[in-house]
Amino acid sequence: MKYIIKVSIVIFLFTTMSCGKSVQAEVNEAAVIDKDIRIANVTFIELGSVNCIPCKMMQPVMEQVETDFGEQVEVIFHDVWTEAGEPYGLEYKIKAIPTQIFLDKEGNEYYRHVGFFPQEELYKILEQGLEQDL
């Protein structure tokens, strides 16, 4: 129960802060998905930590996705081992990190993967999501 209260307080403080935001809070706040104003056809959410080895291995893959797919794919990273990122781990009910979640244009999850995700396999999932939009 104390954990739920703590998470609720963090979420409340996070959403009501208007001044003095940390860089991590600004990144996570900007990454909130609004289904009504989405531009990307696919959203690729990486839930992990900057201190996790498999998560660190995913960083160049996420950068390459941004380069290769441009505005078609929105890449979002949440460090779930921080106060700002922890609520996203709870929201998506992750069991291990890294976890990759793929959302279609309407914001519906169409694929989930846990662990390091090789670029070739990840691209197949992204292309599957992009084909759904055609």
Residue pLDDT, tens place only, 76-85: 999 999 999 9
Per-residue pLDDT of 69-128, as tens digits, reads: 999 999 999 999 999 999 999 999 999 999 999 999 999 999 999 999 999 999 999 999
pTM of the model: 0.71
Domain 2-132 has CATH 3.40.30.10: yes
Give me 42's structure tokens. 């696919």
CA dihedral sign of residues 98, 90, 80, 22: positive
CA nearest neighbour of 24 among 93, 64, 79: 79
Domain ranges of the chain: 2-132
End-to-end CA gap in the chain = 45
